[in-house]
């Protein structure tokens, strides 16, 4: 599921993917609250081969302007693919020169700047794609946090928020704030996981409030 809803047509549209299909949720709004689902439409992504699946889906706010674009990555290859809400393919960004693992597990972006979490990668790779594709840095951890792996990332419109987890004895997790250019700013939230249902899965945000969702379904909030 996209951690950031698509801001399009003056409404927020959550996106999620199952297999090779993207689902676009159109919620019903009652005054200031979204209280139900009005409709759900779907887009089949034909380039996802049988036996493979979409592993990551993300939207973005380029300069905080509404848009109808989203990106996906799959379990079978390296490219990041961008589409619009009508299902038209906009661009393909080949990351094989920068991500040497089998596939991308999570990605986020702001215009032409992409942040990528690859399987078995210790750092978040940043690439810039504007006709050509080049690496422009990494979101590195301070040395005191070595051993933690990135598992989820979002672009908030002003910063990167990265969720990290350590599978060591302590099973620590942290949410880290990075500047757009990749500089470490601060730890926004942190904790430890006592069992497999207490493991964090994703980070999201609404305005200045962040949300960490755990395997148990529990949601923890923090300010960023």
Helix (H) or strand (E) holding 214: strand 209-214
**Boundary-marking domain end, from 83, 110, 139:** 139
Tell me the pLDDT band of 203, cut-offs 50, 70 and 90.
very high
pLDDT confidence of 224, banded at 50, 70, 90?
A: confident
97 shares its domain with 154: no
Residue 120 and residue 202 in one domain: no
Look at residue 191 in the predicted model and tell me its pLDDT: 95
Sign of CA dihedral 177, 183, 185, 190: positive
Q: Helix %, strand %, coil % for the chain, to 5? A: 5, 60, 40
Interval 1-13 mean pLDDT: 77
In this structure, the answer to whether residues 123 and 184 fall within a common structural domain is no
- Measured CA to CA, the distance from residue 172 to residue 97 in angstroms comes to 31
- Cβ burial of 123 (10 Å; 0-12, 13-18, 19+) is middle
Q: Which residue has the higher pLDDT, 55 or 61?
A: 55
For residue 170, the enclosing domain spans 147-224
Distances (CA, A) of 5 to 54, 59, 180: 17, 7, 20
pLDDT of the residue at 61: 60
The beta-strand segments (E) located in 95-171 are 104-110, 113-118, 124-130, 132-139, 149-155, 160-165
The enclosing domain of 3 has a CATH number of: 2.130.10.10
Q: Give yes or no: residues 44 and 93 share one domain.
A: yes
Give the per-residue pLDDT at 178.
95
Encode pLDDT of 166-177 as tens digits.
977 778 999 999
Question: Do 167 and 122 sit in the same domain of this protein?
Answer: no
Q: How many domains does the chain have?
A: 2
Question: Which tops the pLDDT comparison, 40 or 34?
Answer: 40
Mean pLDDT for 178-201 is 93
Examine the pLDDT at 88 and tell me if it is beyond 60. Answer: yes
One-character DSSP codes across 68-105:
-EEEEEESS-S-EEEEETT--EEEEE--TTT--SSSEE
pLDDT at 152 over 90: yes
- Choose between 112 and 144: higher pLDDT: 112
- What would the mean pLDDT of 36-50 be, rounded to a whole number? 90
- CB hemisphere CA count around 212 (13 angstroms): 26
What's the mean pLDDT in 157-165? 92
Question: What is the pLDDT confidence band of residue 193, given thresholds at 50, 70 and 90?
Answer: very high
- What average pLDDT does the chain have? 87
| Number of CB atoms found within 10 A of residue 71's CB | 22
DSSP letter assigned to residue 217? S
CB of 129 closer than 8 Å to CB of 93: yes
Residues 153 and 134 in one domain: no
Decide which of 212 and 49 is more confident.
Answer: 212
* 128 and 164 belong to one structural domain: no
* CA 168/CA 121 separation, integer angstroms: 16
Do 72 and 166 fall into the same domain? Answer: no
Sign of the CA dihedral 104, 213, 126, 132? positive
9 phi/psi in degrees, rounded to 5: 55, 40
Tell me, yes or no, whether 54 and 153 share the same domain: no
Query: Do 42 and 133 reside in the same domain of the chain?
Result: yes
Query: Which pLDDT does position 216 carry in this prediction?
Result: 95
137 vs 206 pLDDT, higher one: 137
């Amino acid at each position: 599921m996209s951690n950031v809803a698509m801001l399009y047509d003056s409404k927020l549209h959550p996106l999620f993917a199952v297999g090779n299909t993207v689902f676009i949720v159109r919620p019903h709004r009652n005054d200031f609250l979204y209280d139900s689902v009005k409709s759900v439409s779907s887009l089949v992504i034909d380039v996802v081969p049988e036996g493979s699946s979409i592993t990551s889906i993300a939207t973005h706010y380029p300069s905080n302007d509404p848009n109808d674009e989203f990106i996906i990555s799959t379990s079978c290859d390296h490219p990041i693919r961008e589409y619009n809400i009508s299902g038209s393919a906009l661009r393909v960004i080949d990351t094989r020169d920068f991500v040497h693992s089998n596939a991308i597990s999570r990605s986020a972006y702001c215009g032409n700047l992409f942040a990528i979490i690859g399987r078995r990668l210790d750092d978040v790779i940043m690439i810039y794609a504007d006709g050509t594709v080049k690496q422009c840095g990494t979101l590195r951890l301070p040395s005191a946090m070595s051993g933690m792996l990135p598992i989820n990332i979002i672009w908030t419109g002003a910063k990167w928020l990265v969720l990290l987890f350590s599978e060591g004895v302590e099973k620590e997790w942290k949410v880290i704030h990075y500047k757009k250019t990749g500089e470490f700013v601060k730890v926004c939230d942190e904790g430890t996981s006592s069992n497999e249902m207490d493991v964090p899965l994703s980070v999201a945000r609404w305005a200045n409030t962040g949300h960490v969702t755990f395997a148990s379904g529990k949601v923890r909030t923090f300010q960023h």
